[in-house]
C-alpha cells in the first residue's frame, strides 16, 4: 500500500446561519493515496462538496467554519496553514473542478486569460511559454482549434466546452491532487464519457491522485480504485470498488446500490425510505438509524466508528449484516 498524499482526520465543518448551525461535515477521516482515484458518493446534502472545499478553505467563511480536524498534505496541516501557503497549494498542488460549468468561469475574461492566470501564479513560464502551455492544455482536454478558442469568452462556448476549460484550469500546473466535484453531471452522456476518458488518461500520464465526487454509482464503478460513501456529513463506508459493489456492508450503501437500475437482473428498483437527516443538530448517534431496517437501540444512542471488515474495507455500522447480528 503506497503512502497517502492526503490524510484527513476528524474534519468538522459548520455553517452558522440565521436559521441555526448547519452541521455539514461531522468528523470525516480518509486517506488519498498517490495516483489513486477515490470516488465519493452520497445523496444530495450529505456533505461531499463541503468536505472537499473545506480542505482548500473554499467554503464561504463566514458563515462557514472549520471547527476541528487535521488534513495532512506534504507535511502541512491544511486546516491550520497560513493563507500565503494555502494560495501556493490552491491551483498549484491541488486543483479543483467545480460542480457547475455554466457559472464557474468569469464571464468578462477570455478563457485564455483565465487559464494563464494559474500559470502566472505557480510556474516560471514566460508569456510565450504560457500561451503554448494554454494551447496544450485545451488540446489535452479535447477542445478543437485551441489557439483560437483561447480568445473566446465563456458564453461563446457550450456547457461541455466550458467544463473542459474548468478541467484545463485545474490541470494547468500539474497538481498532485485533483478534486473533481461532479465534473460531468451537468453534461450529456457522450461528453461525459469523453471527459471521463480524458481524466483517466491524465491520471495515467501524470500520476495525479483524483477525488471524484458523484451521484452516479455507475460511473464510479468503472473509474475508481476505492469509494467513500457519505451520509449526513460522515463517512459510512470505505472500500475498494469490487468489495463495495460486491458485498456492501452498510445498509445505506446497500440501499444506494439497490436503487441503481441493472440490466442483468430484473428486480424492482428500490428507494431508501425516509428523509435525509436534519443537519441542524450535531449527530449523537447513527444518522441513518431512523431509515434503517436493521436499527436497534444502540444505533440511536451512539455514533458507530469505522471498523475494518476486510482488506481496505471499513464500515461504520453497529450491525453486522452478513452475520445478521450486532457487532
Partner 1 sequence: MLRYTIRRFVFAVPMLLMISLIIFTILAFAPGDPAGALPLTIPAEVREAYRESLGLNDGFWGRWIKWVRAMFWYEPQHAIESIGNFCIGDCIDPGERIISFSSRSPAVDTIYERLPQTVWVLGLGLLFGIMIAIPIGIYSAYKQYSAFDNVGSFVSVVGWSMPVYWTGLILIFIFSVNLKWFPSFYDTTHDVQFTSWSSIWIQIKQLIMPVTVLSLFNAAAFSRFTRASVLDNLNQDYVRTARSKGLREFLVINRHVVRNSMIPVVTLIALSSAGIFSGAILTETVFRINGTGSLLITALGQADTPMLQTLTFFIAVMTVFFNIIADILYGLLDPRIRYD
Among the listed ranges 7-15, 42-50, 198-206, 294-302, the one in contact with Mg ion (CB under 5 A) is 42-50
Footprint of ligand ATP on 10-39 (CB under 6 A): 15, 17, 22, 24
Q: Does 63 bind ligand ATP (CB under 6 A)?
A: yes
Q: Which phi and psi angles does 109 have, rounded to 5°?
A: -115, 150
Closest among 298, 305, 304, 287 to 42, alpha carbons compared? 287
DSSP 12-64: EEEEEETTEEEEEEEEEEEEEETT-EEEEE--TTSSHHHHHHHHTT-S-TTTE
Alpha helices by DSSP H, listed for the chain, are 48-55, 83-89, 111-122, 127-140, 146-149, 159-171, 189-206, 217-221, 241-246, 251-258
Q: Strand 4-17 vs strand 20-33: parallel, antiparallel, or unpaired?
A: antiparallel
Residue 74 in contact with partner 1, rule: CB under 8 A = no
The one among 118, 163, 184, 253 contacting partner 1 by CB under 8 A: 118
Please list every residue from 205 through 264 that binds ligand ATP, using CB under 6 A. 215
Asked whether position 114 contacts Mg ion by CB under 5 A, the answer is: no
> What's the grid cell of residue 199?
481524466
Rounded least distance, CB 219 to ligand ATP, Å: 14
Q: Judged by CB under 8 A, which stretch of 20-28, 111-119, 269-277, 280-288 contacts partner 1? A: 111-119
Segment near ligand ATP (CB under 6 A); pick from 41-49, 237-245, 248-256, 262-270: 41-49
When asked if residue 219 is in the footprint of partner 1 (CB under 8 A), the reply is no
Indicate the SS3 state at residue 303: coil
Interacting residue with partner 1 among 8, 11, 79, 89 (CB under 8 A): 89
Does residue number 106 form part of the binding site for partner 1 (CB under 8 A)? yes
Query: Shortest CA distance to 141 belongs to which of 93, 199, 188?
Result: 199
Cβ proximity to ligand ATP, 43 vs 174, nearer residue = 43
Q: Is 159 in the site for partner 1 (CB under 8 A)?
A: no
Q: Which of 170, 191, 219, 279 binds ligand ATP (CB under 6 A)?
A: 279
Q: Kindly state whether residue 48 participates in binding ligand ATP, applying the rule CB under 6 A.
A: yes
**82 in contact with partner 1 (CB under 8 A):** no
For the four alpha carbons of 137, 143, 145 and 148, in that order, the dihedral sign comes to: negative
Choose between 91 and 232: whose C-beta lies nearer to ligand ATP. Answer: 232
Q: Which does 91 bind (CB under 5 to 8 A by kind): Mg ion, ligand ATP, partner 1, none?
A: partner 1
Residue 322 grid coordinates: 452478513
Count of residues near ligand ATP by CB under 6 A: 16
144 binds partner 1 (CB under 8 A): no
Report the residue number, 49 or 254, with the smaller CB distance to Mg ion.
Answer: 49
Interaction between residue 49 and Mg ion (CB under 5 A): yes
Max Cα separation, the chain?
66
**Nearest 10 degrees: CA dihedral of 238, 244, 249, 250?**
60
Please name every residue paired with 118 in a beta bridge, in sequence order, or none if there are none: none
What angle, rounded to 10 degrees, do the helices at 159-171 and 111-122 form? 10
Judged by the rule CB under 6 A, the positions of this chain that interact with ligand ATP are 15, 17, 22, 24, 42, 44-50, 60, 63, 215, 279
Amino acid at each position: 500500500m503506497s503512502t497517502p498524499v492526503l490524510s484527513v482526520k476528524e474534519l468538522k465543518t459548520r455553517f452558522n446561519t440565521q436559521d441555526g448551525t448547519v452541521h455539514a461535515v461531522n468528523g470525516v477521516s480518509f486517506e488519498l493515496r498517490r495516483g489513486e482515484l477515490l470516488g465519493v458518493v452520497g445523496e444530495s446534502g450529505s456533505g461531499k462538496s463541503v468536505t472537499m472545499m473545506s480542505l482548500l478553505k473554499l467554503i464561504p467563511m463566514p458563515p462557514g467554519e472549520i471547527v476541528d480536524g487535521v488534513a495532512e498534505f506534504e507535511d502541512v496541516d491544511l486546516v491550520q496553514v497560513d493563507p500565503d501557503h494555502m494560495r501556493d497549494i490552491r491551483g498549484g498542488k491541488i486543483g479543483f473542478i467545480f460542480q457547475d460549468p455554466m457559472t464557474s468561469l468569469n464571464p468578462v475574461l477570455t478563457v485564455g486569460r483565465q487559464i494563464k492566470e494559474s500559470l502566472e501564479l505557480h510556474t516560471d513560464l514566460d508569456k510565450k511559454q504560457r500561451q503554448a502551455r494554454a494551447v496544450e492544455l485545451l488540446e489535452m482536454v479535447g477542445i478543437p482549434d485551441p489557439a483560437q478558442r483561447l480568445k473566446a469568452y465563456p458564453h461563446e462556448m457550450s456547457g461541455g466546452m466550458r467544463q473542459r476549460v474548468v478541467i484545463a484550469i485545474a490541470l494547468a500546473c500539474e497538481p498532485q491532487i485533483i478534486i473533481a466535484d461532479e465534473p460531468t453531471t451537468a453534461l450529456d452522456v457522450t461528453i461525459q464519457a469523453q471527459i471521463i476518458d480524458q481524466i483517466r488518461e491524465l491520471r495515467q500520464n501524470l500520476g495525479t491522485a483524483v477525488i471524484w465526487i458523484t451521484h452516479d454509482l455507475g460511473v464510479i464503478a468503472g473509474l475508481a480504485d476505492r469509494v467513500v460513501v457519505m451520509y449526513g456529513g460522515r463517512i459510512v463506508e470505505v472500500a475498494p470498488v469490487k468489495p463495495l459493489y460486491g458485498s456492501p456492508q452498510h445498509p445505506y450503501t446497500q440501499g444506494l446500490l439497490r436503487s441503481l437500475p441493472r440490466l442483468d437482473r430484473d428486480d424492482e428498483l428500490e428507494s431508501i425510505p425516509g428523509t435525509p437527516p436534519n443537519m441542524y443538530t450535531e449527530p449523537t448517534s447513527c444518522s441513518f438509524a431512523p431509515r434503517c431496517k436493521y436499527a436497534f437501540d444502540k444505533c440511536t444512542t451512539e455514533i458507530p466508528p469505522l471498523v475494518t471488515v476486510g482488506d481496505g474495507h471499513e464500515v461504520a455500522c453497529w450491525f453486522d449484516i452478513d452475520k445478521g447480528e450486532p457487532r
